[in-house]
Chains A and B, each alone.
Chain A
Amino acid sequence: NAGVMQNPRHLVRRRGQEARLRCSPMKGHSHVYWYRQLPEEGLKFMVYLQKENIIDESGMPKERFSAEFPKEGPSILRIQQVVRGDSAAYFCASSQRTGDNEKLFFGSGTQLSVL
């Protein structure tokens, strides 16, 4: 059973371009979470999605950022018109179901560098 897969592992974009980060959850997992890690910081929650639904987007910037988790295919975190401050590691995690005892499994992240 493959773990949470994120690609690309590294992504370089120039200011103003779009960045698309992909996350394939573990097999059988229908809950996906995105986190951002700035340099020298811990991970910060961005958004929680279930298939085709956004459940909690309280950590998502209001502009330029969007996320989806379609019925088929990976979850996508999209950042439009990237700026240097978007440079960070973006992590995806997944879980099989909701519940206090449910464990999150993390991917290895996508390092976004904005030139």
Chain B
Amino acid sequence: AQTVTQSQPEMSVQEAETVTLSCTYDTSESDYYLFWYKQPPSRQMILVIRQEAYKQQNATENRFSVNFQKAAKSFSLKISDSQLGDAAMYFCAYRGSLNYGGSQGNLIFGKGTKLSVKP
């Protein structure tokens, strides 16, 4: 069974600085998708970034980028120029490809990392 591990329960960063959140996963599949979701106090889950395992290029969305190391099964999130609005819980998630029997909505989440941003 696939698992997702986030080893940092809490992280803190100074405003305008850069922070990296760690995520490792375990799977025997070769084709899958990885996600980072942000959950602010409002509780709504917001997709931050998505990576397709068959793409070697790391995904980037504005100040958010990932370091995807497929062989090491590592998928870290880097937040550059941190802003106060970035403070939230961040969840890493895995989903198998539908072509290999994965279920579209069956995301497997880590336990999350609580990010604080200091002014």
Contacts and interface: CB of A to CB of B under 8 A. Distances in A.
A91 interface: yes
B104 A44 contact: no
B111 A56 contact: no
B33 A100 contact: yes
Interface of A: 31, 33, 35, 40-45, 48, 55-56, 58-59, 89, 91, 93, 95, 98-100, 102-104, 106-109, 111
A33 B107 CA distance: 10
A60 to B, nearest CB: 12
A32 to B, nearest CB: 8
Contacts of B103: 45, 48, 55-56, 58
Given A43-B91, A98-B98, A100-B99, A108 B109 contact: no
A95 B43 contact: no
A108 B105 CA distance: 17
A58 B109 contact: no
Contacts of B42: 108
B4 interface: yes
B105 A48 contact: yes
B44 A31 contact: no
B111 A103 contact: no
B82 to A, nearest CB: 22
B106 A42 contact: no
Contacts of B91: 42-43
Contact of B111 (A41, A58, A99, A104): A41
A100 B98 contact: yes
Given A44-B109, A100-B98, 14 more contacts: A42-B93, A42-B112, A45-B103, A48-B103, A48-B104, A58-B103, A58-B106, A91-B45, A100-B33, A100-B97, A100-B99, A104-B47, A106-B44, A106-B45
B98 A43 contact: no
